[in-house]
């Protein structure tokens, strides 16, 4: 899904520098998902993720639908419901189809999105796309995470079609996720594709597993950020990005 986005340009930051990386979680997930910030290059697992083969096809969906639906029938029974009552007759199939949709990011590869969308451009000012709607699924509880993603990068002769930033968000968010990994995967994909001077990604999200159970904090939001390159090394560039996404 691609929603209207805002973009803003501003004076460029300092010269390119080696990519560093910082991920921090504020008010993190309460189930131990918060990770220690990693220093240095992005982990190979995350980088490999960008080049991964898609793990599911449309044919796979058709093949697995009956077994997923059967599993939902078992779940309904286990919850004390009667899967045969009128209102629930089609629920296992609907739920299975919905779950496949919620995880359709497994059917896509980042590299397909990037093909034909990278342009040589002598643009060296910060590009920001903010308020990208994001819907994901917590991999610990299989309930929704939803919120907004803000992306900024400082190009180094290459730019990406603006709508593609939202597509990258879509592909990684429509998988089972933890917010910290989602944030990092988006930043690493942009870094790999464009070799920019720097990238910043901030995600503000609500975790239904926190809102509906556990601490039951209705309005708690989890904020994660990944800063690479000059966004990490140059406080001025980072502050400019953070100011622009809040304006």
Q: Could you list the active site residues?
A: 138-141, 179, 207, 209
- Separation between Cα atoms, residue 137 and residue 131, nearest integer Å: 19
151 binds Zn ion (CB under 5 A): no
171 binds Zn ion (CB under 5 A): no
35 binds Zn ion (CB under 5 A): no
Q: How many residues bind Zn ion (CB under 5 A)?
A: 4
Instruction: List, in order, residues 6 or more apart from 79 with CB less than 8 Å away.
Output: none
Min dist. Cβ of residue 146 to Zn ion (A): 12
For residue 152, the 8-state DSSP code is E
Q: Of 10-18, 113-121, 180-188, 202-210, which segment contacts Zn ion by CB under 5 A?
A: 202-210
Taking residues 203 to 232 in sequence order and writing x for each that binds Zn ion by CB under 5 A, - otherwise, the string is ------x-----------------------
54 binds Zn ion (CB under 5 A): no
30 binds Zn ion (CB under 5 A): no
Residue 218 vs residues 112, 177, 178, 244: alpha-carbon distances, Å: 38, 21, 19, 27
Q: Which is nearer to Zn ion, 8 or 206 (CB)?
A: 206
Give the tokens for residue 54.
Answer: 């898609």
What number of other Cβ atoms are within 10 A of residue 97's Cβ?
A: 15
Within 124-143, which residues bind Zn ion (CB under 5 A)? 138, 140-141
- Separation between Cα atoms, residue 121 and residue 17, nearest integer Å: 20
- Separation between Cα atoms, residue 102 and residue 218, nearest integer Å: 23
**Which residues contribute to the site for Zn ion (CB under 5 A)?**
138, 140-141, 209
């Amino acid at each position: 899904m691609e929603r209207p986005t805002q973009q803003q340009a501003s004076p460029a930051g300092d010269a390119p520098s080696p990519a560093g990386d910082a991920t921090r979680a504020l008010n993190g997930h309460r189930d131990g998902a918060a990770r220690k910030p990693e220093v240095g290059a992005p982990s190979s697992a995350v980088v490999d993720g960008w080049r991964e083969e898609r793990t599911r096809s449309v044919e796979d969906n058709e093949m697995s639908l009956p077994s997923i639906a059967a599993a939902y029938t078992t779940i309904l029974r286990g919850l004390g419901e009667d899967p045969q009552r009128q209102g629930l007759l089609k629920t296992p199939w609907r739920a299975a189809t919905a779950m496949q949709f919620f995880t359709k990011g497994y059917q896509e590869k980042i590299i397909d999105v990037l093909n034909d969308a990278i342009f040589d451009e002598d643009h060296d000012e910060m590009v920001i796309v903010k308020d990208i709607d994001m819907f994901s699924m917590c991999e610990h509880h299989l309930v929704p995470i939803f919120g907004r993603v803000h992306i900024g990068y400082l190009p180094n002769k290459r730019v990406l079609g603006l709508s593609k930033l939202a597509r990258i968000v879509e592909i990684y968010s429509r998988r089972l996720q933890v917010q910290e990994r989602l944030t990092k995967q988006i930043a690493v994909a942009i870094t790999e594709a464009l070799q920019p001077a720097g990238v910043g990604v901030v995600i503000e999200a609500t975790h239904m597993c926190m809102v509906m159970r556990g601490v039951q904090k209705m309005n708690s939001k989890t904020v994660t950020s990944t800063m690479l390159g000059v966004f990490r090394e140059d406080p001025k560039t980072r502050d400019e990005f953070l100011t622009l996404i809040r304006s």
